[in-house]
Amino acid sequence: MRPTEYQPRERSPRSGEYEELNIFGNPTGRTALVMGDEELPPACRGFSWRPLPERTPAELRRYAREYRRMAEAPATAFVGDRLRSLAERFDALADQREREDRGQP
């Protein structure tokens, strides 16, 4: 499933958090909370917006790897446990998205 992208100042189809993508389709780190049928924020030419829940499996796995890397040297054991937990959740979500892409439940 290819994520849906929306143009700046276009009306959002639903309420939620959106992330800005650059001209290459990579997240810029900028996010916006938008209500349904509200105008998306302005952005640079060629940039777009997509709902955060539509991250691809590859992106979710990248986040999981990053959290595991950070968990290798945590400030406390509690922080390390939480980072590993987040990594597992991102991997599980990526697995779910991949199954959905293949048409499996």
User: Cβ(21)–Cβ(49) under 8 Å?
Assistant: yes
- Is pLDDT of 30 > 60? yes
Q: Is 18 helix (H, G, I), strand (E, B) or coil?
A: strand
User: Cβ(53)–Cβ(84) under 8 Å?
Assistant: no
Of the listed ranges 11-15, 52-56, 88-92, 96-100, the one predicted with least confidence: 52-56
pTM above 0.85, yes or no: no
Report the C-alpha gap between 48 and 35 in whole angstroms.
Answer: 17
Q: Is 11 helix (H, G, I), strand (E, B) or coil?
A: strand
Give the mean pLDDT of 85-96. 91
Query: What are the pLDDT digits (tens) for 44-63?
Result: 999 999 998 888 899 899 98
Q: How many CA atoms lie within 13 A of 74 on its CB side?
A: 13
